[in-house]
Structure 1
Amino acid sequence: MSTEHASGASDGVVKITPEAATQALELMDREGMDLDVGGLRLFVQQGGCAGLSYGMRFDDEPEEDDMVVESNDLRVFVDPASADYIGGSVLDYEAGLQAEGFHVENPNVVSECGCGESFRT
C-alpha cells in the first residue's frame, strides 16, 4: 500500500479540499466508522453515455494494492486501475442552488456527457 500526503497531492493521485474532507468525515462518523482506519473509496467504473463514471463508497480499510491519500484527516483509497484515470484530480464538495454533493475535477477528461455524470479520457 502506498501513501501520498496532501503536500504532494498536486502531482499525485488526488487532492482533497477541506470542504470534501469535512463532509466525508461527518458522514463516516454518522455511520459509526473508525476514522483512523476507514476511508472514502474513489473509483472509476464503466458506465454512462461517455463511457466512464466515478464511484464513491466508504470502506473500513484499504485493499493491499490501494494508494492511500491522506488530507485534512480524511483517508481516500484509490485502486491502481482507477488511479490511471484520475491522476491529478481534485475531490471537492459543492453546495449550491442547483445541486449539492461531491465533485471530481479531473484534468484527464477530454469530454463529458451532457448531464455531467460520465466522462471520457
Structure 2
Amino acid sequence: MTPPPAERVLCALEEIPDGQSKGFAAAPGGFLGLFAVRRGDRVWVYVNSCPHIGVPLDPVPDRFLDRKREAIVCSTHGARFRIEDGVCTTGPCIGEALEAVPARVDAEGRVLVPADAGL
C-alpha cells in the first residue's frame, strides 16, 4: 500500500476572501510562488508563472483576477485563463495552461497542497 503524499498547509481558507485570489511566496528552498483563487468552499491553486514566458502573473500582490473576477489574467501581456482549469482562452499562449497544484480544504478549514508544490 502506497502512503499518501506529504502535504503542507498553504493557508486557512478564510485568509482568501471569497471570490478573490491570494499569492504565496515560494516554499523554503523553492523558487516558484503559488496563488489560489477561492469561490465559496472551492479553491484552485496554480504556480505563479505564465506559460508564455514564465513571468509571475500578478502586477501587485494578490491581484490575479480581472475586474469582474471571472478570469485569471497575466499582467505582462493580458492573457486570460479560466479559473477552473487554468487554460488560456485569449492571448499569446491560447490553449496552453497554468500549472495546476492539487489542493484540498481539510475539516479544519486549512488549504493543503503537496509538500513539494512550487519547488
Structure 1 length-normalised TM:
0.31
Q: Which has the higher strand share?
A: 1
